[in-house]
Each structure stands twice: as structure tokens, then as C-alpha cells.
Chains A and B, each alone.
Chain A
């Protein structure tokens, strides 16, 4: 019984630490000298958010949160590709 409580404590600590990692990542979004730096930092933030959602599914014990993570990964991929095309080509399509 103590094992599962230790595991829950570790999960919650990792979740809090991942959320606190969002702050330095958003520093790069605000400060980043060029446009691709900001895009790359936003991509990093969405990757961290996928990890946060999976950890939240572990904390809550809800399996359906993983589906949210899949949807977030899909939309983040489309957004990153289109903005990178806009930066390099000058247009999206």
C-alpha cells in the first residue's frame, strides 16, 4: 500500500516539474531573436503539453486523456508544418 502512495507522489512531482518547465520554454518564445526560434519553442511547448496530459491521465486514472494527447499531437504537427512553410516560402500553400 505504501508502494502505490510513493508511486502517486512521484507521478505528481513529475507533473508539477513538467508544468514548471513550461516557463523557461515560453521565455524562448518571448525573447527568441528570430522567427524560427519562436516556432521551435512553440513546438517544444506542445511536446511538453503532450507529456503533461499523459501525466494527468496517470494522476486522474482516466484513460480518455490519452486521446486528447493524440489530437493535440496531430494539430501541433499541422500547425508547425504550415508555419515553417510560411517562414521559408512566404506562403502556406
Chain B
């Protein structure tokens, strides 16, 4: 009786945080704030649901504990990877001469093309251009060095 009451309370707790997280993912204005909202679903919401399931069906608590430990280990890593991709993408767009505010604009095609270029690939392009310049105008460089 008490176990069922606690289980239902944990289920409702988890569902409340799932709903709040999804609402935040829709309503938040920025990529990183949306990421913050979706992190709440992965921790509080899912753990509430798992705790409720373990209390309502006690024979399966070991598997649910394994699932909870796995989610506890992997969810922050995935969120960190997405946040790092948002940050580096913004850095790349700034390096290519755009302002940071334009990453959130509706100019989707332009931003998506620049996002595929990694920093190392941009450095490769710059190196190749310098090599070509050195090859085509060696005496200009020699004059400049004198």
C-alpha cells in the first residue's frame, strides 16, 4: 500500500519533469538554454519514472538499477558532446567572418554549409593556399625576405 503510493508519487514526479523539459525545449530562445532544459528530462524525469517502476514492480529492480546507472553515466557525456558541437560551430562561423548572433538566424543554408567545415579542414585550405602562393611567386617572397 505504502509502496504503491510512493511508486505513483515517483511516477507523477518524473512525468512532471518530462513535461517541463519538453516545454523548455520548445519555448527556450537559444541552443544552450534548450540543452539545459533537455538535461532535466534525462536526469530528474527519467529517474523519477525509473524509481516509480522499481517501486511498483519490485521483482525487476536490478535491471532498472542497471538502466539507471547506464543513463547516469552516458547522459552527461552526450549532453556535453552536443554543447561542445554548438560551441565549436559558433567559433567556426565567427572565424569565417560572420557574427555570432547570425548562427541563430533563419539563414539556414549558409550556416549549414559552414558547419560541415571543421577547423582542421579550414587550416588545410589556408595551408594549401599558402603553398600555392609560394610555388607561383617564389621570387616575390625572396624579395620580401631581403
Contact = CB atoms under 8 A, between A and B. Distances in A.
A77 B53 CA distance: 22
Interface string B14-38: 1100110111011000010011001
Interface string B100-135: 000111101001100111101100000000000000
A89 B85 CA distance: 8
Nearest to B88: A88
B57 interface: yes
Interface residues of A, number: 50
B60 A63 contact: yes
Nearest to B93: A34
B71 A73 contact: yes
A24 B12 contact: no
A33 B71 CA distance: 28
25 contacts: A3-B4, A7-B7, A11-B56, A17-B15, A27-B26, A34-B115, A36-B85, A36-B89, A40-B25, A40-B34, A41-B38, A47-B45, A48-B18, A48-B41, A50-B67, A50-B71, A54-B49, A58-B57, A67-B63, A73-B67, A73-B71, A77-B74, A84-B78, A85-B81, A87-B89
Interface of B: 1, 4, 7-8, 11-12, 14-15, 18-19, 21-23, 25-26, 31, 34-35, 38, 41-42, 45-46, 49-50, 53, 56-57, 59-60, 63-64, 66-67, 70-71, 74-75, 77-79, 81-82, 84-86, 88-89, 103-106, 108, 111-112, 115-118, 120-121
Given A11-B11, A34-B104, A69-B67, 15 more contacts: A7-B56, A14-B12, A14-B49, A17-B19, A25-B25, A27-B26, A28-B34, A34-B89, A34-B103, A44-B21, A44-B41, A47-B45, A63-B57, A88-B89, A88-B118
